[in-house]
Structure 1
Amino acid sequence: MASPSHCSCSSRLAHQRCLVFFLGFLTQMLVVTSDTNSQDAAALNALATLWKDTPSNWRSSDPCGDNWVGIECNNESRVTSISLSSLGLKGTLTGDIQYLTELQALDLSYNKGLTGGLPSSIGSLSKLVNLILVGCSFSGKIPYEIGSLSLLTFLSLNSNSFTGSIPSSIGNLSNLYWLDLADNKLSGTIPVSPGLDSLTHTKHFHFGMNQLSGIIPSKIFSSNMQLIHVLFDNNNLSGSIPPTLGLVKTLEVLRLDMNSLTGPVPSHLNNLTKVAELHLANNQLMGPLPNLTGMSALSFVDMSNNSFDESDVPSWFSTLPSLTSLYLEYSRIGGQIPPAIFNYSPLQTVKLKGNRFNGSLDVSAIENSQLELIDLQDNNISSIVLGGGYSKKLILVGNPACDQHNDLAYCKIPQLSAPSYSTPQNCVPVACASDQNLSPNCTCAYPYTGTLYFRSPSYSDLQNTTYYHILERELKASFLNEVPVDSVSLNNSFVNSFDNLEMNLQVFPSGKTSFSEVDVSRLGFILSNQTFKPTSIFGPFYFIGQAYPAAHEIAMSKKSNHLPVIIGAAAGAAALALVLIGCAAFVITQRTKVKRTAERRQASGSWNFTKGSSSSSSIPQLKGARHFSFNDIKKCTNNFSEANEIGDGGYGKVYKGVLNNGQLVAVKRAQEGSTQGVLEFNTEVELLSRVHHKNLVSLVGFCFDQDEQILVYDYVPNGTLKESLSGKSGVRLDWKRRLRVVLGAARGLAYLHELASPPIVHRDIKPSNILLDENLNAKVSDFGLSKPLGDKKKGHVSTQVKGTMGYLDPEYYMTQQLTEKSDVYSFGVLLLELITAKKPIEHGRYVVREVRLTMDKSKDLYGLHELIDPALGLGNRLGGFEKFVELAMKCVEESGIDRPTMGEVVKEIENIMQLAGMNPNADSASNSMSYAGASRSPVRHPYSNESFDYSGTEPSSRLEPK
């Protein structure tokens, strides 16, 4: 037998031979000492070696014989199930999983520390029935090989970061019952022939909250399908609603809202007599308002914000026997509202804002005790008959009836509702330890917690406690079948920006203060595997659980009490196994380091940089940027102390630091597995080392030492423009300050486009990438996605699309041809965000479209009063506001050729500032295109308390199609 020292194999081939030898030896040893099948034991031990924070008893080499937490085996000691929900696992899912050939269920849900891609070798698991990876951090493409899992019935990959298109091979999964790919970053079109049209036995199509585009193919639906839920909401789908939907008679929930669908609503939808929830809002649907008389099961209807023909009040309003919620805002409905509509007994909420209703509104005879809200804002109602009939929420703001009666209750926007429901405590509260919670039965314990998301509830009255009581009883009953549960608690219910009903859940243990690891895994499985079936009023749901560290800590504590016995019993074989495993792990680690270093060297080849070398000739000679050693960085940040941490983004953490000369700096340190790669790091270093302007963030230096990627910037104390607009930074930006900020940002961009050689396109302009210095001067930051255009004569460069959804130029997205006008489009969206303080896409509404539809040049402030940020103060004079809006809309023209250049944008902002009584060159020592290359004195002031993120990036919103 080779000694452990032989593991120091020098070459890559030797590493491989060394690894194979020790893994082979380990497998042979497992055959002798383990009840578990040797192949399965080797695979699970390999995963245990790679994962961090595994369950407390994953220390032996015999998963089946020692009853590893989350592992189930059959009579032949083959592993058939892995269920490790909510246990805080960290690591990646490697190809070792393929050797568990008897595996039928894999549930790793709610482990945010699980990252990386889904290995293609997962297609080898021919007996897999359940694949559930909800709420992790997996990314990359869904492998085509997943279509080889012919027995699969439950596929839940929702709430990760998967990209690319939906693999057409999914159409091979003929046994699939549940298909959930929602809440990822999937793009491309809906696959058919082969594709989803083949899944005739599937009951759930959940694809919402992605970036899918193209049409919804007619072929996807047929009369022999058994679908009950079709969820394509919050995507970029276009074209018309396929009439073939009317063939799916089993359908109960249909969500197509928040897309770009056009054309009329097909009359065939009236055939869907089982549909209870219909969501078509926030599209571009045209034609007549559909007659839904035949949809007798409808309880929730939302067709707001479309482009239907003008019509009178439809008769079907008061003919649907189960209708609780009617949302038809901005639907061009007119005429006088019949009083009988409001007496329709099931109704809870009626939202008819922004229509053409007129005449007198009579609510004097309303007897419907369930009707909580009537919202008729912005109509033409001239008078109201109140009587004593209706005493709940009625909103008539923006109607002629309120012109002279602004003091009346219904002529005011109502105050915020009372706090949302929270499960009451049925006893006298007691004091708990600081790290425990009080259950509804007043016992102190560590609850299992998470968030429930209901995708389409059939009710809208969130103040009705009856619904919550029902849900509490159903949840507890479902858990008690598997886990001893004392009680469940619900709180903080609200409808989020994706129109999902969201609420927090806590589950408390019975007879003890903490759930065991096995209990936690079972609770997570009940919710991830949809074992819990709520009543139909709640509709489809998903759950995102939180890691439950208490069980792991307690189990480890108990285990430590028996440690001497365990060590004594297993000293011989276990010690040898640990040595072998450690050696194998060492080899794997060394290979990984070599590979990572090689990749970095290759990416940095143009620098002629040799890591670890102290020779000055090996350090990149980049103008203006200083090379720091890792020890220099550690010293200036006090060894990356938590006290110096000022930000945390997809790239890594940001720390304040002080250089030897007293200069304050911001140090951005990449973490392993960062979303910003070596190429982006190099791009930012090289670009900021050769462009210098007072409205661009200044790069002080960088560190590429000891496998670290670190960028050092000048410290900018007032955070980002995004934080100021949201109120997080404490910096108040009035109209004039906002004009000066966008002028600075425009000047920085104009310099990149017109004076840099070659011209540079930033590609990620947004408020979180605009920093504000001590004088609120704007500095454009985060150049990791920036791209030089090269040949000016060509006018563009063909490149992979990168940017942030909402700010991304649609022409660039469609053609993949990048020009300076792509930045102009993003800047236009930023201008609109500046006057509205809204995210570009909020509640499914795109700010560009909202402004375009709302603006009326015949009115004061172009009629945008409701969209304008209240912090601007509409009572104040917003000089040049109309010109500002016109400039923004020019910047977001669909065709780049119709947009101004950034130089023209700068001049127009300067003109607008003069209309606002400002001097555009005040506080400026140079013209709009000047260099700021002179040496700067170090900034000397104490650390501020503002927190900001120099990464300037929200990883979940980055768009990088492959």
Structure 2
Amino acid sequence: MDVRICQLVAVIFLQISITAAQNNDREILLALKDVWQNTPPSWDDGSDPCGSWDGISCTNSRVTALTLSSMKLIGGLPGDIGHLTELQILDLSYNTGLSGSLTSQIGNLRKLTNLILVGCRFSGPIPDTIGNLERLVYLSLNSNGFTGPIPSSIGNLKNLYWLDLSANKLTGSIPVSSGTTPGLDVLIHTKHFHFGDNQLSGDIPLGLFNSNMSLIHLLYENNALTGTIPSTLGLVTSLEVVRLDRNRLSGDVPSNINNLIHVTEMFLSNNRLTGPVPNLSGMNLLNYLDLSNNTFDQSLVPSWFSTLLALTTIKLQNTNLVGELRAAMFSIPQLQNVDLSNNQINGTLNIGSNPSTQLQLVDLRTNQIAAFAQRRQYHIDLILMDNPICMESGVTDRYCSLPTVTNASYSTPWNNCVPPSCGSSLVSSPNCRCAYPYTGSFFFKAPSFSSLGNATIYNSLQDSLMTFFQKADFPVDSVSLKNPSRNLDDYLVINLEVFPSGQTSFNRTAILTLGFALSNQTFKPTKTFNTYVFLSENYDNFLPEISGTGGIRHKSSNIGIIIGSGIGGCVFVVLLVLAVTYASRQKRQAETTSRRSQPFANWDQTNMTSGVPELKGARSFTFDELKKYTNNFSEVNNIGAGGYGMVYRGSLSNGQLIAIKRAQQGSTQGGLEFKTEIELLSRVHHKNVVGLIGFCFDQGEQMLVYEYIVNGTLKDSLSGRSGIRLDWMWRLKIALGAAKGLQYLHDLADPPIIHRDVKTNNILLDEQLVAKVADFGLSKPLSGANKTHVTTQVKGTMGYMDPEYYMTQQLTEKSDVYSFGVVMLELITARKPIVKGRYIVRDVREAMNTNKELYGLHKVLDMTIGLSNKVKGLERFVDLALRCVEEMGNQRPAMSEVVKELEGIMALGGFNPDTESSPSTSASYEAIGKDYNHPYSNDSLNAYSGGFLPQKLHPK
């Protein structure tokens, strides 16, 4: 009897724990729903998420897959996601409204096999905790805005097959293992290394490659990698695609590179490679070869070209080739494109009598070709301009100018039908049916061909797509491919339209299924196209959800162990758990409301050290202490005023000078700014960020205590009010210091911080003229746990405000970059951003002439910096400033790039800021008097906080 009771109790507790876990998953999904906008309508259903919610898959009533691609979600990825402990697949791709940092709690999802966040706007560093996901097979974080280094902890992901971190802003070196620290070299089972379009730097480590690796795709294009190509690359004989183009690689190409006999595409172009042109004989599968724009030793055109019968494309422009071309090269059976321009090829050109039937372009411009042995009329675009032969007249005249450019066009043809006239935004499918297609673009990073007009190739891609969709039982009627082109990255871009079957629209289940199939690389193209990224567009024409249509939604299975005698107890416990959960949620909501109305309600006034969260080094002062340090807030110590309140100078008992920012009584906005500055500044410590000494929250007072910055603001130095004369090199030093402060906030602060009010009045200068970024009252942390990266009310200062942020209310770190660009222009002109309706950005752009010395900006430059040859690097400085104030944020550099460029400009002038003495002042700080605004006055009369921004002042 006792045994049966024990068994019954065990079963009851098992049922209770399972039910509690199920309810916990539901609560987490509800928390996600609170954070995200535009969740599917089915998420408003209060029933079991495993039974009816789009994008949710379950096993035994536990959430195992969350796939919400192409849903137009807006928000961040909160730490709550880390509590879905049974989750195996997380796909949030193609939601450009998802932003903020990637929470470190992602590392709690130990059962995750697929983490796919393609084409969102996540930013900040990739957390080291991602190395905890040891079951991970697919890791796709490409096409976001991630910054910082590649986490070495990724080396722990021993089951990884696909690693794609491309098209981000990652910096630093490539991590390899050292001692107990893992690295990418230990990922011997990974097939794909995709790291292109980042800002990676340093050498490619010799230890990155070894013979145990099974890599097939190695993509490091468009970074800032330096040093030589390591000889160990030749050990990875499984490689099929190698892209190291558009870096700063130098030295000889290793001689063993021709061990890579399975490589079909090799891109080494636009580097600084030297030595002989690499011998690739024996690489008989090679289709596409691009070695262009390197400084190889002068050498003859390689004879081994004609032995590689799979070649479709040969690109060696500007590689120091000499000698005559052999006719055999043009007879390679599949050859389509030859570009040997800008070399020293000479003699007589002989294409031969039987060139490849697929040959379309031979570009030999800017060489030394003296004659052309034309055997017959060739239907080839042959370019011989800027060769000696073109100085004569005759049959070669048609080759001595650029051919007429005809954009290669392709569009899937109709299937023996007449397309109807489709109204509105409906589109005719290849089967001549009007519908709303699911659209997007393929980016093929290493296709085996260069021709854009070959319909046979596109037909094969179309057929493989339809075969895939049909085998997977997707509700697809037909697909259409359009407008193939090559972008600046030399990727093949093809637009895709997928049409629904039997309806004019897809439902959400079908879109989620399609999105996951393409983001997860479930669809595999032929090797003709090779690796790809798919980026979808928004889909706005959903049909109502219909059960039984298939897709990723599944009913959860029931627990098989049900004992009658335990049901009553289980129900009771479950109800109790639900009641407690409901009460907790209500309490949390009430606390949230309270926090919003009373920002300091959760601060313990009686115990400030423990009552204020996450303070590091900020001291709590009493009102009486600060009253004493300012001589009872005397008039003589009043050094400024603003909308926030008064600013006083004081002196601590140890003699340290301080500046005290005292809020006006009853200022709600001031209270929020007060709390923000304390919580943010207590976490940041950098020589180019103003130091917070402490605060006062006593007797109804709200005061911030800063280090006293003796030389005031940059604004006052530029205007001459501070008495400091700034020459060109000191302006560069100040710009670099401020940029480093902002870079620290964006890339190294935890969480990353957007300042939101960068201006010359918020850049302070200490006794050594070290620039310090100040005033964090409007700042926003980029935390994954909230939506502070998205603001519903635009705030900032007119003239410095990012127009994209103003128009979209989407705040990103590029908003600070824009404001800093205006500061840079202010540094060279000493003009306010807006004067009598004239905007500094527009004035500089209209005045500059890049063909003149100093860009012809003499009329707008501040005469104080001088116009002699001592103003070295001014043109680069202006170029950088104008890049910072581009209309679109994605066209602006990151602050890390700004810092590097400013360092380069300073080096150009031979300036060492660490040894340079400060310029003299014509007036001391104290002598300026009370009319001089102190740097902490907040200058709020110029601040903008929502409402109407006059059109004539709108940044353009």
Shorter-chain TM-score: what band?
0.5 to 0.7
1:145 to 97, 122, 129: 129
Distance 1:333 1:505, change over 3 A: same
> Which residue of structure 2 lines up, in the alignment, with residue 812 of structure 1?
903
Asked whether the equivalents of residues 763 and 802 of structure 1 are also in contact (C-alpha less than 8 Å), the reply is no
Shift in Å, 1:585 = 4.8
- Name the counterpart of 1:494: 485
Within 5 Å, give how 1:415-434 maps onto structure 2: 415-426=404-415, 427-434=417-424
Residue from 827, 833, 839 that aligns with 1:698: 833
Which shifted more, 368-377 or 32-41?
A: 32-41
Residue 92 of structure 2 is matched in structure 1 by: 108
**How far did residue 405 of structure 1 move?**
4.2
If the length of structure 1 is used for normalisation, what is the TM-score?
A: 0.65
Deviation at 1:737, TM superposition (A): 8.9
Distance 1:522 1:607 in 2: 56
Q: Which amino acid aligns with 1:154?
A: Y
Number of the residue aligned with 1:120 = 104
**Correspondence list, 1:619-658, <5 A:** none
Q: Is the 8 A contact 2:803 2:955 kept in 1?
A: no
Do 2:444 and 2:530's aligned partners in 1 also have CA atoms closer than 8 Å? yes
Offset, 1:95: 1.0
Work out the percentage of aligned pairs sharing the same amino acid. Answer: 41
Q: Provide the TM-score with structure 2 as the length reference.
A: 0.65
State the Cα deviation string for residues 637-684 of structure 1 (Å, max 9, x = none): xxxxxxxxxxxxx99999999x9xxx9x99886576622499889989
Secondary structure at 2:293 match in 1: coil
Distance 1:454 1:157 in 2: 17
Match of 1:37 in 2: 22
Q: Is the 8 A contact 1:745 1:770 kept in 2?
A: no
Q: Select which of 191, 215, 232 maps to 1:203.
A: 191
Match of 1:341 in 2: 329
The answer for the alignment partner of 2:36 in structure 1 is: 51
Instruction: Check whether the contact 1:83–1:106 (CA below 8 A) recurs between aligned residues.
Output: yes
Letter in 2 for 1:159: S
2:171 to 161, 168, 187: 187
Higher deviation after alignment, 374-383 or 58-67 = 58-67
- Does the aligned pair in 1 maintain the 2:114–2:138 contact within 8 Å? yes
Cα offset, 1:743, TM superposition: 3.5
Q: How do 1:346-385 and structure 2 match up within 5 A?
A: 346-363=334-351, 365-385=353-373
Matched, 1:674 2:811: yes
Secondary structure (helix, strand or coil) at the match of 1:430 reads: coil
Structure 1 residues 363 and 32: alpha-carbon distance in aligned structure 2, compared to 1, 3 A threshold? closer
- Which amino acid is the alignment partner of residue 127 of structure 2? P
Q: Is the alpha carbon distance of 1:484 and 1:579 closer, same or farther for their aligned partners in structure 2, counting shifts above 3 Å?
A: farther
- The offset of 1:496, in angstroms, is 1.1
- Which residue of structure 1 lines up, in the alignment, with residue 8 of structure 2? none
SS in 2 for 1:550: coil
SS at match of 1:408: helix
Contact 2:172–2:199 (8 Å) recurs in 1: yes
Shift of 1:296: 1.4
Deviation at 1:803, TM superposition (A): 3.8
For residue 743 of structure 1, give the secondary structure of its aligned residue in structure 2.
coil
Q: Select which of 406, 413, 419 maps to 2:402.
A: 413
Residue 392 of structure 1 pairs with residue 375 of structure 2: no
Whole-Å separation in 1 of the counterparts to 2:853 and 2:952 = 19
Amino acid at match of 1:153: V
Residues 63 and 333 (structure 1), Cα distance of their counterparts in 2 relative to 1, 3 Å cut:
farther
- Contact 1:327–1:351 (Cα < 8 Å) also in 2: yes
Aligned to 2:882: 767
SS at match of 2:115: strand
Please give the alpha-carbon distance, in whole angstroms, between the structure 2 residues aligned to 1:755 and 1:363.
55
Shift of 1:505: 1.1
Separation in 1, partners of 2:582, 2:50: 18
Could you report, residue by residue, the CA deviation over 1:460-501 in whole angstroms, capped at 9, with x for unpaired residues?
011111111111111122223142111111112111111211
CA distance in 1, matches of 2:469, 2:498: 9
Give the AA of the match of 2:487: N
Query: What whole-Å deviation, never above 9, does each CA across 1:811-831 have from its counterpart, x for those lacking one?
Result: 827xxxxxxx44xx8xxxxxx
Structure 1 equivalent of residue 539 of structure 2: 548
1:494–1:502 Cα contact (<8 Å) kept: yes
- What pairs up with 1:209-288 in 2 under 5 angstroms? 209-288=197-276
Secondary structure of the residue that 1:549 maps to in structure 2?
coil
**Aligned residue type for 1:391:** H
- Aligned match for 2:457, one of 439, 450, 467: 467
Q: Does 1:133 align with 2:98?
A: no
Q: Partner of 1:20 in structure 2? A: none
Matched to 2:325, the amino acid is I
Give, as a single letter, the amino acid of the residue that structure 2 aligns with 1:470: S
Pair 1:500–1:667, CA change in 2 (3 A):
closer
Deviation at 1:429, TM superposition (A): 2.3
1:743-763: CA deviation from partner (whole Å, max 9, x where unpaired): 35654894899999xx9x989
Tell whether 2:66 aligns with 1:82.
Answer: yes
What's the CA shift for 1:132?
0.7
CA distance in 1, matches of 2:146, 2:333: 45
Check conservation: 1:493, 1:503, Cα contact below 8 A.
yes
- The 2-side partners of 1:163 and 1:549 are apart by 32
- The one-letter code sitting in structure 2 at the alignment partner of 1:716 is Y
Structure 2 CA distance for partners of 1:736 and 1:695, relative to 1, 3 Å: farther
Alignment map for 1:54-69 (pairs within 5 Å): 54-69=39-54
User: Matches of 2:328 and 2:475 in 1, distance apart?
Assistant: 51
Aligned-partner Cα distance in 1 for 2:186–2:239: 17
Q: Distance in 2 between matches of 1:171 and 1:242?
A: 20
Equivalent residue runs for 1:524-603 within 5 Å: 524-551=515-542, 584-585=588-589, 587-588=591-592, 591=595, 594=599
**CA RMSD of superposed structures (Å):** 5.0
Displacement of 1:62: 3.9
Structure 1 position 302, deviation (Å): 0.5
Residue segments in structure 2 that go unaligned for 5+ positions in a row = 1-12, 548-576, 604-611, 619-641, 645-658, 672-700, 705-711, 720-788, 917-948
State the distance in 2 between where 1:437 and 1:528 align: 24
Whether contact under 8 Å (2:839, 2:955) holds in the other structure is no
Change (3 A) 1:494 1:249: same
Measured after TM superposition, the shift of residue 104 of structure 1 is 0.7
How far apart, in 1, do the equivalents of 2:445 and 2:546 lie? 36
Q: Structure 1 counterpart of 2:114, which letter?
A: N
Q: Secondary structure at the match of 1:138?
A: strand
1:523 to 511, 514, 530: 514
Shift of 1:402: 1.0
Q: Whole-Å Cα distance in 2 between the matches of residues 716 and 652 of structure 1?
A: 25
Aligned to 1:18: none
Contact residue 844 and residue 857 of structure 2 kept, 8 A: no
Give the conservation status (yes or no) of the 8 Å contact 2:251–2:272.
Answer: yes
1:743 aligns with 2:858: yes
The equivalent of 1:437 in structure 2 is: 427
Q: Which residue of 1 aligns with 2:559?
A: none
SS at match of 1:57: helix
SS in 2 for 1:186: strand
Superposed displacement of residue 696, structure 1: 3.5
Kept in 2, the 8 Å contact 1:139–1:162? The answer is yes
The aligned residue for residue 574 of structure 2 is none
Counterpart contact for 1:666–1:715, Cα < 8 Å: no
Question: For residues 782-801 of structure 1, what are the structure 2 equivalents within 5 Å?
Answer: none
Measure how far apart 1:198 and its partner are. Answer: 0.7
* CA distance in structure 1 between the partners assigned to 2:279 and 2:505 by the alignment: 54
By relative contact order (CA 8 Å, sep 6+), the higher-ranking structure is: 2
Q: Distance in 2 between matches of 1:64 and 1:666?
A: 41
**Structure 1 residue 768: deviation in Å?**
4.3
Deviation at 1:539, TM superposition (A): 1.1
Answer whether contact 1:363 1:389 (CA < 8 A) is retained.
no
**8 Å contact kept, 1:125–1:149:** yes
CA displacement, residues 270-313 of structure 1 (integer Å, 9 cap, x when unaligned): 11111101111011111111111021111111011111111112
Q: CA deviation at 1:409?
A: 2.1
Whether the 8 Å CA contact 2:299–2:320 is kept in 1: the answer is yes
